[in-house]
Amino acid sequence: MASHRLLPLAVAVMFNTACSLSPPAAPLTLEPPALASTSALLEQGQHFGLDNNPLTPDDHILAMTPDMRYFVGEQVPAALSEQARLRYLVDALIRPSQLGLEYAPGVTLTATETFDERRGDCLSLSALFVAMAREAKLNVYFNEVSVPPSWEMLSDNSSAIYKHINAVAVIDGKPQVIDFSVDIYDYRYPQKQVDDDIAAAQYYSNLGVKQLNDGDPATAYAYFRRALHLGPEEAYIWGNLGVLLRREGLLDEAEVAFRKALSLDPEEAAALSNLARLYRSEGRRDEARALEAVIAERQRSNPFWHYSRSRAAFERGDFDEALTSIHRAIRLNREEYRFYQFAAVIYRRQGNDKKYEEYGLRAAQAKFASQQHTP
């Protein structure tokens, strides 16, 4: 893939090398579900009091309103070069005296809603940018970034994984990454162009997770079904659907959903963890142990897993365990500045000023080094 340059006016840069993000995975042998069983998962509307129309809802995530078109016309003179139009647009979106967009994790909105509310998550901000950039006659597309897994516990027995997405503008044949999510993006993460349907699938999946958290399983199902209609090969959405089905007591169907997710992506961490929990809850101990062994091996070699354990220990007040875990993360990945940064936080909490200053300096050095290598 071509080198991606982050537009200076946009936002921030950070993160890791592809090799450190992808430790050797423990082998996973799991029979994929039958096609008929998988298809049946999208025909469970009756259970939720819904019909089986996969085309609803349709929120038109890139729709432009007259106010949005007027904004682009006023802020981005059509006579400018493509590069200048791009800079004018990004500046207008982020400047507090103009639109003043704010990154708001967990707030998934359409482009129109984002324009009105002036905030949103990575997908919302990217959707607004893509819609407006196309109005300004720029060549732009959505860009999916494989950030390290972020586990969010929906309950004691299930978890979900969120994806990161930004946008790319192609100016004179050169891609420029536009990312409004501070401290999320780094050019060294694996990334790929995705079409509008896949971005929309992520939008519906995000809303499905929100409705699941809010206790509205029917709406969550409608969103997940719509997401899978648009992105049937997106493993994480099948995994999220599995969480919903498990919550509803549809255990056989939940198993099919998790196995479908893993057949598409054997390293889909949330689906693997949720399937192991499902087997354990059903007393299928041998199957649960086999998956748990795979999970344990992957966790031991994943620096971000140790980082998450360190943060959890810190929140419990177990600072010795927090230090042990963060140093394991550092040994596995010596380039991630946030690991040193968090070690400094722990040392400061312990009153160790010397170590606090040492790791604060190392964090600054690692961050500077990563930025110097931006193409």
pLDDT at residue 299, as a whole number: 81
Does the pLDDT of residue 276 top 70, yes or no? yes
Residues 54 and 185 in one domain: yes
Does residue 193 sit in the same domain as residue 308? Answer: no
Domain that holds residue 341: 303-372
How many structural domains compose the chain?
A: 2
Tokens of 197: 């349907």
> Does a structural domain hold residue 209?
yes
H-helix or E-strand spanning residue 295: helix 285-300
- Give pLDDT, residue 304: 82
User: Which tops the pLDDT comparison, 54 or 159?
Assistant: 54
Residue 254: what pLDDT? 97
54 and 203 belong to one structural domain = yes
- Summarize the confidence of residues 278-291 as an average pLDDT: 94
Is residue 296, in this structure, part of any structural domain at all?
A: no
Q: Give domain status of residue 264, yes or no.
A: no
CATH number of the domain encompassing residue 161? 3.10.620
Residue finishing a domain among 200, 218, 247: 247
* DSSP type of residue 148: P
Q: What is the DSSP letter of 318?
A: -
pLDDT at residue number 174: 93
**One domain for residues 89 and 153:** yes
- Same domain for 117 and 209, yes or no, is yes
pLDDT, residue 105, reads 84
pLDDT of amino acid 54: 86
Bigger pLDDT: 146 vs 157: 146
Question: pLDDT over 70 for what percent of the chain?
Answer: 86
Whether 27 shows a pLDDT value over 50: the answer reads yes
Per-residue pLDDT of 194-231, as tens digits, reads 999 999 999 999 999 999 989 999 999 999 999 999 99
Same domain, 335 and 228: no
3-state DSSP of 33-83: CCHHHHHHHHHCHHHHCCCCCCCCCCCCCCCCCHHHHHHHHHHCCCCCCHH
Say if residue 371's pLDDT is above 90: no
Give this prediction's pTM: 0.80
Is residue 336 domain-resident? yes
The whole-number average pLDDT for the span 179-201 is: 84
* CATH at 360: 1.25.40.10
**pLDDT of res. 6:** 37
Q: Are residues 78 and 219 in the same domain?
A: yes
> What is the pLDDT at residue 183?
61
**φ and ψ at residue 293, rounded to 5 degrees:** -65, -40
Position 184 scores a pLDDT of 63
- Per the listing, tokens 């929140």 go with 315
pLDDT of 217? 97
In a domain, 289, yes or no: no
Does a structural domain hold residue 196? Answer: yes
192 and 318 part of one domain: no
What pLDDT sits at residue 4?
39
Answer yes or no: is pLDDT of 24 > 70.
no
Q: Does residue 30 lie within any of the structural domains?
A: no
Spatial neighbors of 36 by CB under 8 A, at least 6 apart, are none
Question: In this structure, are 214 and 310 located in the same domain?
Answer: no
Which of 169, 162, 181, 119 lies closest to 143 in space, CA to CA?
A: 169
**Boundary residue ending a domain (181, 212, 247):** 247
The pLDDT value given to residue 297: 87
Give the pLDDT score at 368: 83
pLDDT-based confidence at 300, cuts 50/70/90?
A: confident
pLDDT in tens, 55-111: 899 999 999 999 999 999 999 999 999 999 999 999 999 999 999 999 998 899 999
Band (367; pLDDT cuts 50, 70, 90): confident
| Whether residue 30 has pLDDT greater than 70 | yes
Residue 167 in this model has a pLDDT that exceeds 80: yes
pLDDT tops 60 at residue 161: no
Q: Which residues neighbour 186 within 8 Å (Cβ) at sequence distance 6 or greater?
A: 13, 14, 15, 16, 370
The verdict on 243 and 337 lying in the same domain is no
Confidence of residue 41 (pLDDT cuts 50, 70, 90): very high
148 band by pLDDT with thresholds 50, 70 and 90 = low
Domain boundary among 223, 247, 271: 247
Structure tokens at 13: 């840069």
87 and 219 share one domain: yes
Q: What is the pLDDT of residue 164?
A: 86
Supply the pLDDT for residue 61.
97
Residues 212 and 124 in one domain: yes
With respect to residue 22, please indicate whether it lies within any of the assigned structural domains.
Answer: no
